[in-house]
Structure 1
């Protein structure tokens, strides 16, 4: 299937979507993610660009934030826990290259988790191009632009989706003055990697690489649906802490099943959202 990906996808899009939603075998993620997102194609088109980007001097403010974030990104993960180790150095290079590649975005906190996830599964240069593809081809770049335009639009869309699909949680959030801006950055900008179980996070990346931002919105609503009773039973003063302190284990199959059953129509996306995604 991978050898003739373009042909297979055009002929069997439903089969591809179904298999990805069930979870890509872990041993294949390093091959499949770049193919799904388009990172492998970008790497073939630009065989020497990554090396050139590494020679570009980053903006000092970008470089300072990147250096600080190296120590905060998967600090207990074997690949990244060593200060100045190979994992941290690879992460620094990928983030520096992206800052040079996309000067409007530069570097934004949250990107480090996404880049690190990719580095754990694939060679550094392919990880860079897959990061480019996820942000640009799968519609997530606006999360990291100055003033976070896509994130703010997603916050508004998510409140609408909660009102439709989870009215009890919506009413709870309204009553307690809880908004997605109070916890959502850790969920959306890191693709859940900041505080969710790793086994769940890679399942999120599976669907985002294929389906982009709509899949991410579905997953947010599904997680809240799964946590519904826990949230409704939580006293108001402790609700925000409950949203930031999540279960150590999360049934990824259950979340994904619920997520992909949630409808997100084009009409439910704010009109400005389409403009932000394609900016």
Structure 2
């Protein structure tokens, strides 16, 4: 027994030493990458962003110290939002909240409907308390609670056509952790204005179905056995993909891993969101093949906590985002055309 205990102790000591060595190496790599990003890449952003060297470095994950800056540059500001514009919409939001508190009337107030009232007050308030609940910083009394409330409130005034949708709070929270308040709002508004996010947050069923159909083309191409298994249970992508896309994986994955997904999403765009989904399915393929409909849905809704960056990104790297000779954008365009023409037999993803 003593000998066995001694062996276990030695084994644990070697394991701790290996983990510490890996962590030290990782920290060294981050420090080295940070110098390159700060001194070489960021000062020459437009020239270097698409080079092979930068793309490879980007894939490995952005150093936390430059993450927010790179995200902002990659997302861009097509909407031309300024910090001053953010302050204007934040002031409007505060006026609206004040007005709602002072009146119990259900009539429109300054053109704001009861639905807007509920969205801007109750839903945002409720969702903030559910956003990264293990992190005190977003809870009431926490240092970022009011900042998160402000950004979400300002957005409902900036885009009343979209309003507030559950899941937005997670996206805003991740941006707040990496950017100053006004910059976080600018990135948030521009991010939600991308075609994929706009389709999901406006609940554009037609566009969402096209994204699901395109996803299934690559699902069948990469993971045919699992694809057929899901088909046998009539388990469709909306059951698990909606939550992943709505929060950009920030609710489904550990925060540090979600940030690394965001890194490459900012590099590659919407395609990477669906590639990540396929990477998750590949990672757990053997487990999922043993499950029925209910257990698959439950598993994908609450992914294991021990999912690691190395394992997931290894699976993502193995996913080929090319169907025959067509890439994601081409397949998506074909699906759009097929649905428009009503020829549902032209796309394998749309077969019943």
- Measured against the shorter chain, the TM-score band is 0.7 to 0.9
1:70 and 2:136 correspond: no
Equivalent residues in 2 for 1:240-255 (5 A)?
A: 240-255=297-312
Counterpart residue number, 2:212: 155
TM-score by structure 1 length? 0.87
Distance in 1 of aligned mates of 2:206 and 2:91 = 30
1:267 and 2:324 correspond: no
Listed one character per residue, the Cα deviations across residues 172-222 of structure 1 (whole Å, up to 9, x for unaligned) are: 111112112222222111111222211210111111222210111111111
Equivalent residues in 2 for 1:24-35 (5 A)?
A: 24-35=62-73
Do 1:172 and 1:232's aligned partners in 2 also have CA atoms closer than 8 Å?
yes
User: Greater shift after overlay, 229-238 or 202-211?
Assistant: 229-238
Distance in 2 of aligned mates of 1:137 and 1:236 = 32
Listed one character per residue, the Cα deviations across residues 108-151 of structure 1 (whole Å, up to 9, x for unaligned) are: 11111111111111111111111122222574222201445543
Distance in 2 of aligned mates of 1:223 and 1:256 = 9
Do 1:134 and 1:212's aligned partners in 2 also have CA atoms closer than 8 Å?
no
Q: Kindly name which structure, 1 or 2, has the bigger radius of gyration based on alpha carbons.
A: 2
User: Greater shift after overlay, 163-172 or 19-28?
Assistant: 19-28
1:95 maps to which of 152, 159, 176:
152
Distance in 1 of aligned mates of 2:239 and 2:293 = 14
1:223 and 2:280 correspond: yes
User: Greater shift after overlay, 110-119 or 129-138?
Assistant: 129-138
Listed one character per residue, the Cα deviations across residues 222-258 of structure 1 (whole Å, up to 9, x for unaligned) are: 1101110011122454222222231212232332343
Do 1:138 and 1:211's aligned partners in 2 also have CA atoms closer than 8 Å?
no
Listed one character per residue, the Cα deviations across residues 18-63 of structure 1 (whole Å, up to 9, x for unaligned) are: 2211111122212221122125x867x6241010010124631321
TM-score by structure 2 length? 0.70
Show structure 1 runs of 5+ residues with no match.
Answer: none
1:3 maps to which of 43, 61, 65:
43
Counterpart residue number, 1:109: 166
Distance in 1 of aligned mates of 2:337 and 2:200 = 14
1:14 and 2:52 correspond: yes
Distance in 1 of aligned mates of 2:261 and 2:73 = 16
Q: What do you get for the CA RMSD once the two structures are aligned?
A: 2.4
Distance in 1 of aligned mates of 2:271 and 2:288 = 24
